[in-house]
C-alpha cells in the first residue's frame, strides 16, 4: 500500500530514533497499526456501514439503470466513482470519528505521554484507516464485476488502486483535521455534510457529464472530483488532467498543513 510506505518515511528519519536506544520505530509503528486494527476489527459492526453503503448505492442506483450498467464506459466510471466514495467515506469517518472520540478518552493522551514520536502515531492511524478503506472498496468491485458491464485491464486495475491510494491522502488528512478540530458529536455532523456534499458535487453519484455548467465549474474545485478524474485516467491509461492533478495536490498540502497545526495545538479535549 502506497500510503503506508509514504507515511513510514518521516518516522525512520525522526531524531527520536537515536535517543530512544534500542526501540525500533518501525516495530513501534507496527505495534500501533496492529492495536488500531484490532480495536476496530473486534467491533466489526463499526466498519459494516462504510463497507456496505457504497456497494448498496451501486446495487440500487446503478445496476437497475441498464443504460449505465450495460455500457462498459459508463459502468466502469460508476464503479470507480463509488470506489472513490467508499475510500472517502471510510477515510473521513473512520479517522475523523476515531480521533475525535479518542481525544475525549484518557487513553490517547496517555499514549502521547509515552516516548512516542507524534509521526509514529499519526502514520499508524493513517495506515490502519487506509487498510480499512481498501476493505470497504472490495464489495463495490465485486458488485461492479458481476452485475455491470464494467471492465478493467489488470494494469488498469493496479494503476487505479495506486491512484486511489494517493488520492485518498487528502481525505485522510481532512478526516484527521476534523477529528482534531471538533468534539465527536460535532465531528459526525461535519463529516456527514462534508461527505455527501463532496460526493454529489464531485460527481460520485451522478456523472459530471450530466451536470449543468455552473455545477461542473464548482465541481472542479472539489477533491472528490479530482480523485474521480485521476483514478479514471489511471484506469484508462490516459494522461491525467493537469487541473485535476493540481487540485488534488493543493488539497493535500492544505489539509496536511491544517492537521499539523491542529495536532500541535491539541492538548486533548479534557475538562477540569
Partner 1 sequence: MTTLARLDSVTRRFGSTTALDAVSLEIRSGEILGLLGPNGAGKSTMLTLLQGSRRPTSGTVELFGGDPSLARFRAELGSTPQETALPDTLRVSEVIDLVAAHFPDRVPTAQLAEEFGFADLLRRQCGALSGGQKRRIAVALAFAGRPRLVLLDEPTTGLDVDARHGLWAAIRRHRADGATVVVTSHYLEEIEALADRVVVIDQGRVLADDSLDAVRSRVESSIVSLRSPSAQRIAELAGVVRAERAEGGEASGDGTDRLDLTVADSDEFVRTLVTSGLPFERLAVRGASLEEAFLALTVSTPASPERIPV
Applying CB under 8 A, what is the total number of residues that bind partner 1?
32
Verify binding: residue 214, partner 1, rule CB under 8 A: no
Give the one residue of 106, 183, 197, 237 binding partner 1; rule: CB under 8 A.
Answer: 106
Residue range at the interface with partner 1 (CB under 8 A); choices 93-101, 107-115, 151-159, 211-219: 107-115
Verify binding: residue 179, partner 1, rule CB under 8 A: no
Nearer to partner 1, 22 or 212 (CB): 22
Nearer to partner 1, 31 or 193 (CB): 31
Residue 165 cell numbers, joined? 491510494
d(CA 161, CA 135): 12
Verify binding: residue 183, partner 1, rule CB under 8 A: no
Verify binding: residue 131, partner 1, rule CB under 8 A: no
Verify binding: residue 15, partner 1, rule CB under 8 A: yes
CA distances from 136 to 102, 189, 200, 214 (A): 22, 21, 19, 32
- Please say whether the beta carbons of 269 and 183 come within 8 A: yes
User: Measured from the CB of residue 31, what is the shortest distance to partner 1 in angstroms?
Assistant: 5
Verify binding: residue 113, partner 1, rule CB under 8 A: yes
Give the one residue of 28, 126, 140, 143 binding partner 1; rule: CB under 8 A.
Answer: 28
Nearer to partner 1, 116 or 232 (CB): 116
Residue 114 cell numbers, joined? 509515552
Q: From residue 36 to residue 75, what is the string marking binding to partner 1 with x (rule CB under 8 A)?
A: --xx--xx--------------------------------
Q: Which residues contact 128 (CB under 8 A, 6 or more apart)?
A: 33, 36, 37, 40
Give the one residue of 80, 86, 89, 116 binding partner 1; rule: CB under 8 A.
Answer: 116
For binding to partner 1 (CB under 8 A), which residues are involved? 15-16, 18-23, 27-28, 31-32, 35, 38-39, 42-43, 105-107, 109-110, 112-118, 267-268, 272
Amino acid at each position: 500500500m502506497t500510503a503506508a510506505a509514504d507515511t513510514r518515511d518521516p518516522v525512520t528519519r525522526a531524531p527520536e530514533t537515536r535517543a530512544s536506544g534500542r526501540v525500533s520505530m518501525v516495530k513501534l509503528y507496527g505495534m500501533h497499526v496492529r492495536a488500531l486494527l484490532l480495536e476496530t476489527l473486534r467491533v466489526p459492526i463499526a466498519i459494516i456501514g462504510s463497507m456496505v453503503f457504497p456497494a448498496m448505492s451501486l446495487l440500487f442506483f446503478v445496476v437497475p439503470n441498464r443504460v449505465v450498467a450495460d455500457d462498459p464506459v459508463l459502468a466502469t466510471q460508476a464503479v470507480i466513482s463509488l470506489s472513490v466514495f467508499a475510500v472517502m467515506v471510510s477515510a473521513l469517518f473512520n479517522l475523523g470519528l476515531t480521533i475525535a472520540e479518542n481525544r475525549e478518552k484518557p487513553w490517547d493522551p496517555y499514549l502521547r505521554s509515552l516516548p512516542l514520536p507524534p509521526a509514529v502515531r499519526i502514520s499508524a492511524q493513517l495506515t490502519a484507516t487506509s487498510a480499512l478503506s481498501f476493505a470497504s472498496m472490495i464489495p463495490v468491485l465485486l458488485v461492479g464485476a458481476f452485475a455491470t458491464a464494467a471492465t478493467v485491464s489488470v494494469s488498469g486495475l493496479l494503476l487505479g488502486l495506486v491512484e486511489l491510494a494517493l488520492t485518498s491522502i487528502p481525505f485522510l488528512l481532512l478526516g484527521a483535521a476534523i477529528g482534531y478540530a471538533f468534539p465527536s458529536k460535532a465531528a459526525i455532523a461535519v463529516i456527514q455534510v462534508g461527505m455527501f456534499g463532496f460526493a454529489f458535487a464531485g460527481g460520485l453519484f451522478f456523472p459530471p457529464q450530466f451536470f449543468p455548467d455552473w455545477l461542473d465549474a464548482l465541481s472542479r474545485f472539489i477533491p472528490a472530483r479530482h480523485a474521480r478524474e485521476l483514478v479514471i485516467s489511471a484506469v484508462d491509461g490516459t494522461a491525467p488532467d493537469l487541473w485535476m492533478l493540481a487540485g488534488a495536490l493543493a488539497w493535500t498540502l492544505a489539509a496536511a498543513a491544517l492537521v499539523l497545526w491542529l495536532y500541535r495545538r491539541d492538548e486533548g479535549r479534557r475538562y477540569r
